[in-house]
Amino acid sequence: MLKQMEGSRAVAEAIALCRPEVICAYPISPQTHIVEALGEMVKDATLGDCEYINVESEFAAMSVAIGASAAGARSYTATASQGLLYMVEAVYNASGLGLPIVMTVANRAIGAPINIWNDHSDSLSQRDSGWLQLFAETNQEALDLHIQAFKLAEELSLPIMVCMDGFILTHAYERVDMPTQQQVDQYLPPYEPRQVLDPAEPVSIGAMVGPEAFMEVRYLAHAKQMQALERIPQLAEEFQAVFGRDSGGLIRSYRTEDAETIIIAMGSVLGTIKDTVDAMREQGHKIGVLGITSFRPFPYAAVAAALKDCQRFVVLEKSLAVGGGGIVATDVRLACTGMGLQGHTVIAGLGGRAITVKSLTALFEKACAGELELNTFLDLDWKAVNKQLEREKQVRRSGPIAENLLRDAGVVAARNY
């Protein structure tokens, strides 16, 4: 059923269709609207047989989800940014214990400086946490991925983050095709836990494991993610069979058939990139797009196959491994080791910096011309940066960077009185 609604609401309704049994909620922007909507649905009983827990922190949110999942309940929570970082210990624990929790991450930058706008720093910081990470390009895909995520998580007994860009998706009103309960029930069977806390068959979950078995435990977690690489495309196909919609999968190629240059990205920015690429195609540029949906597990083989006929690729990512460079780019480069491709990393849109068609066009044209540097910081204000660097060179007490930059930019509130 087609509906015009906010992305958060769409996700909340999709979650409700998945019949969650325990939802833990702690407010943090830009995720809050999702749990607000779910809270209302539980309270007015449209979402029945579900416990909605207002926890005291994200750490508790993930911990409650751990307990609920271990006791055999389908468990859900949502977070973002600082909230994700606050729950990190429990995030690792949930995957370590193999608990199929589904969590929405409404991607947002990490402070300091505190910043509520979108980038991918938060979920990418959890790259090695053992969770699967699926990135949504649109609200429709965000909605669909949650349904697929429950199925995949419970099959594998592994937790999954469904990542959607904060504000850009969560707060955007778009038309979505909301599935029916019947469709979801047809696709998603009831949760059959691999292990459960039950007096009828007692087990001890969460033993202390020493050097004699720890590596095997870690390898098994890895092996499961490798299994997911096979299951994710199958689940997308099964999804299409029930819902009539192509959604999910590992990667998604766009106009790459004869492309010499392929732009690689995750999340909502793919829309802008596709618009830019469409325009450039009309001008005769041989350029295409590769969207990565599954960041973890990383589909090395699929990416390599998608890039096999191009000459160069540009990874445009909303994350920065400070002191290193790109994060997604590192994986992409690893995927096409030995293929002789020219690779570029573009760090863009950190902390919500707008990524415009104009900037992208200039960037891609430079890339097509073979003139793009290895690492690019898109639309970086070099003047401000250099001024601060100069200031630091001269004055030991050069003051706070963010305020200095704002002052240089003429923001009144940051003026020195």
Which of helix, strand or coil describes residue 122?
A: helix
Which segments of 300-359 are extended strands (E)?
Answer: 312-317, 342-347
Of residues 93, 87, 66, 133, the one with CA closest to residue 217: 93
Task: Note whether 49 binds another protein by CB under 8 A.
Answer: yes
Binding region for another protein (CB under 8 A) out of 21-29, 171-179, 234-242, 355-363 = 21-29
Q: Is the peptide bond before 400 cis (omega within 30 degrees of 0)?
A: no
Task: Note whether 203 binds another protein by CB under 8 A.
Answer: yes
Q: List the interface residues with another protein, window 130-169 (CB under 8 A).
A: 157
For residue 290, the cross-strand partners are 253, 264
Q: List the interface residues with another protein, window 70-89 (CB under 8 A).
A: 70-73, 75, 89
Binding region for another protein (CB under 8 A) out of 111-119, 170-178, 194-202, 265-273 = 194-202
Residues 6+ apart with CB under 8 A from 217: 96, 209
Distance (Å, whole) CA 148 – CA 239: 7
What x-and-dash track marks residues 302-341 binding another protein by CB under 8 A?
----------------------------------------
**Residues present in the chain in total:** 417
Radius of gyration of the chain (CA): 22
- Cβ atoms of 67 and 92 within 8 Å: the answer is no
Binding region for another protein (CB under 8 A) out of 9-17, 54-62, 318-326, 376-384 = 54-62
Q: Which of 67, 111, 325, 343 binds another protein (CB under 8 A)?
A: 67
Of residues 84, 97, 157, 164, the one with CA closest to residue 126: 84
The distance of closest approach from Cβ of residue 62 to another protein in the complex, given in angstroms and rounded to an integer, is 8
Cβ-based nearer residue to another protein, 220 or 339: 220
Q: Which of 198, 275, 278, 381 binds another protein (CB under 8 A)?
A: 198
Task: Note whether 222 binds another protein by CB under 8 A.
Answer: no
Residues 6+ apart with CB under 8 A from 409: 381, 384
Q: Which of 22, 34, 109, 289 binds another protein (CB under 8 A)?
A: 22
Binding region for another protein (CB under 8 A) out of 31-39, 94-102, 279-287, 298-306 = 94-102
Q: Which of 5, 10, 11, 24 binds another protein (CB under 8 A)?
A: 24
Q: Which of 2, 4, 128, 210 binds another protein (CB under 8 A)?
A: 210
Cβ-based nearer residue to another protein, 7 or 20: 20
Distance (Å, whole) CA 312 – CA 357: 20
Which of helix, strand or coil describes residue 346?
A: strand
Which of helix, strand or coil describes residue 270?
A: helix
Half-sphere exposure (CA, 13 Å, Cβ side) for 310? 31
Distance (Å, whole) CA 347 – CA 288: 19
Q: Which of 7, 30, 83, 98 binds another protein (CB under 8 A)?
A: 98
Q: Which of 114, 217, 241, 389 binds another protein (CB under 8 A)?
A: 217
> What is residue 127's DSSP assignment?
T
> Nearest-5° angle of CA 119, CA 123, CA 129?
160
Q: Which of 63, 95, 126, 261 binds another protein (CB under 8 A)?
A: 63
Task: Note whether 91 binds another protein by CB under 8 A.
Answer: no
For residue 24, the cross-strand partners are 53, 77
Binding region for another protein (CB under 8 A) out of 135-143, 166-174, 195-203, 402-410 = 195-203
The distance of closest approach from Cβ of residue 202 to another protein in the complex, given in angstroms and rounded to an integer, is 4
Q: Is 254 left (phi over 0), alpha (psi -120 to 50) or beta?
A: beta
Task: Note whether 93 binds another protein by CB under 8 A.
Answer: yes
Binding region for another protein (CB under 8 A) out of 45-53, 254-262, 287-295, 312-320 = 45-53
**Contacting residues toward another protein, per CB under 8 A:** 21-22, 24, 49-51, 53-57, 59-60, 62-73, 75, 89-90, 93, 96-98, 157, 194-210, 212-214, 216-217, 220
